[in-house]
């Protein structure tokens, strides 16, 4: 657990805050570490991020001002703040009894995706990677390559979504209002009798990478181009719903066919979006 410091930054004047911050920074050793110093560094680094984040929010001082007054670059100080923002409850000091260091957290501090950050920390701990080895794998897109390889394995096993069009509950024409991410759409659904409804739908049987990851962004862009791009379906789709999933979203199959309005023909002859995402290795199959 992170150390708890009783002297809140909210009670400090600026001079006292800078002295406290310098003391923390001077206690972070940048050399070969024993286990005690490794854990100490992690806790001190987290506390630096907390202090700076809270003080700048309370006082109006910028990171650039604070960094200049403690004799370091604003980029370097911002890394502490970013790391604290990603891990506000404290840094993990080990994973499955395998140690992590502050340098590992520095290596992943500019990765936006939580899933990807957690992946690199887990792999670094499990494989004993140094921070340099971790950075190298990040530069070489190790995470995306592993996800793609996993998709290829599933595809090689003839991954298909089992679909029985005769058992679908309801089939409606719909307009795509927004592509939320690769497997979630906001639709305006024509339910008949001059009635339209807005619903979020989750594509049945698949899972795309989360937003803000490279693979997640790629999946979303694929769907945008297929459903809303100039060569796509112009936002018109046919949706077949099965049940309501978590968060009130419908679980659904989605078909599209450019320049075709007949729903049954779209279902029988059109493109099945759920399966396309699998075939393009932009999603994995789930139960």
Based on the domain organization, do 117 and 173 belong to the same domain?
Answer: no
Is residue 154 a part of any domain in this protein?
Answer: no
- 250 pLDDT band, cuts 50/70/90, is confident
Is residue 240 a part of any domain in this protein?
Answer: yes
Based on the domain organization, do 112 and 33 belong to the same domain?
Answer: yes
DSSP alpha helix (H) spans, 11-130: 14-26, 35-59, 63-69, 74-86, 102-107, 114-127
Is residue 2 a part of any domain in this protein?
Answer: no
- 147 pLDDT band, cuts 50/70/90, is low
Based on the domain organization, do 234 and 184 belong to the same domain?
Answer: yes
Based on the domain organization, do 33 and 97 belong to the same domain?
Answer: yes
User: Residue 287: what pLDDT?
Assistant: 63
Q: How confident is the model over 4-30, as pLDDT tens digits?
A: 344 555 557 899 999 999 999 998 876
CATH code, domain carrying 64: 1.10.10
Which of 148, 177, 205 finishes a domain?
148
- 70 pLDDT band, cuts 50/70/90, is very high
Which of 93, 115, 148 finishes a domain?
148
User: Residue 8: what pLDDT?
Assistant: 55
Q: Between 243 and 63, whose confidence is greater?
A: 63
pTM (2 decimals)? 0.54
Is residue 1 a part of any domain in this protein?
Answer: no
User: Residue 123: what pLDDT?
Assistant: 92
Based on the domain organization, do 124 and 171 belong to the same domain?
Answer: no
User: Residue 165: what pLDDT?
Assistant: 44
Based on the domain organization, do 116 and 201 belong to the same domain?
Answer: no
Based on the domain organization, do 38 and 141 belong to the same domain?
Answer: yes
Based on the domain organization, do 16 and 98 belong to the same domain?
Answer: yes
Q: Between 230 and 201, whose confidence is greater?
A: 201
Which of 89, 115, 148 finishes a domain?
148
Q: Which of 117, 125, 169 is nearest to 142 (CA)?
A: 117
CATH code, domain carrying 192: 2.40.50.90
Q: Does position 108 have pLDDT exceeding 90, yes or no?
A: yes
- 184 pLDDT band, cuts 50/70/90, is very high
Q: Does position 44 have pLDDT exceeding 90, yes or no?
A: yes
Is residue 153 a part of any domain in this protein?
Answer: no
Q: Does position 73 have pLDDT exceeding 60, yes or no?
A: yes
- Structural domain boundaries enclosing 138: 9-148
Q: Give the whole-angstrom CA distance, residue 17 versus residue 1.
A: 23
> Which residues, other chains included, contact 27 with Cβ-Cβ below 8 Å and sequence gap of 6+?
40, 44
Q: Does position 134 have pLDDT exceeding 80, yes or no?
A: yes
User: Residue 211: what pLDDT?
Assistant: 77
Strand partners, 187: 176, 199
Based on the domain organization, do 263 and 189 belong to the same domain?
Answer: yes
User: Residue 152: what pLDDT?
Assistant: 54
Q: Between 234 and 21, whose confidence is greater?
A: 21
User: Residue 246: what pLDDT?
Assistant: 54
Is residue 127 a part of any domain in this protein?
Answer: yes
Q: Give the whole-angstrom CA distance, residue 93 versus residue 90.
A: 9
Is residue 25 a part of any domain in this protein?
Answer: yes
Q: How confident is the model over 185-226, as pLDDT tens digits?
A: 998 888 777 777 888 889 988 889 887 788 889 999 999 999
Q: Give the whole-angstrom CA distance, residue 224 versus residue 205.
A: 19
Based on the domain organization, do 32 and 69 belong to the same domain?
Answer: yes
Q: Which of 204, 170, 200 is nearest to 185 (CA)?
A: 200
Mean pLDDT, range 259-284, rounded to an integer? 85
- 38 pLDDT band, cuts 50/70/90, is very high
Q: Does position 99 have pLDDT exceeding 90, yes or no?
A: yes
Based on the domain organization, do 65 and 14 belong to the same domain?
Answer: yes
The number of domains in the chain is: 2
Based on the domain organization, do 56 and 123 belong to the same domain?
Answer: yes
Is residue 211 a part of any domain in this protein?
Answer: yes
- 78 pLDDT band, cuts 50/70/90, is very high
């Amino acid at each position: 657990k992170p150390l708890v410091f009783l002297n809140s930054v909210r009670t400090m004047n600026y001079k006292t805050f800078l002295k406290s911050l310098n003391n923390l920074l001077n206690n972070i050793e940048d050399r070969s570490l024993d286990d005690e110093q490794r854990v100490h560094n992690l806790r001190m680094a987290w506390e630096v991020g907390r202090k700076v984040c809270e003080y700048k929010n309370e006082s109006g001082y910028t990171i650039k001002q604070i960094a200049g007054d403690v004799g370091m670059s604003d980029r370097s100080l911002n890394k502490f703040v970013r790391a604290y923002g990603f891990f506000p409850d404290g840094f993990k000091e080990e994973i499955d009894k395998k140690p992590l260091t502050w340098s590992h957290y520095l290596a992943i501090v500019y990765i936006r995706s939580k899933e990807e950050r957690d992946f690199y920390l887990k792999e670094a701990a499990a494989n004993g990677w140094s921070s340099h080895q971790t950075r190298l794998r990040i530069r070489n897109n190790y995470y995306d390559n592993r996800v793609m390889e996993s998709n290829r394995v599933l595809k090689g096993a003839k991954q298909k979504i089992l679909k029985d069009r005769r058992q679908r509950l309801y089939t409606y024409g719909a307009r795509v209002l927004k592509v939320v991410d690769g497997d979630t759409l906001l639709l305006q659904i024509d339910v008949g009798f001059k009635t339209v409804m807005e619903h979020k739908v989750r594509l049945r049987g698949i899972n795309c990478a989360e937003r803000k990851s490279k693979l997640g962004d790629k999946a979303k862009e694929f769907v945008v181009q297929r459903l809303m791009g100039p060569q796509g379906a112009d936002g018109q789709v046919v949706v077949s719903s099965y049940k309501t999933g978590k968060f009130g979203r419908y679980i659904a199959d989605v078909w599209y066919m450019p320049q075709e309005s007949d729903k049954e023909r779209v279902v029988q002859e059109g493109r099945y979006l759920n399966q396309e995402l699998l075939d393009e290795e932009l999603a994995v199959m789930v139960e």
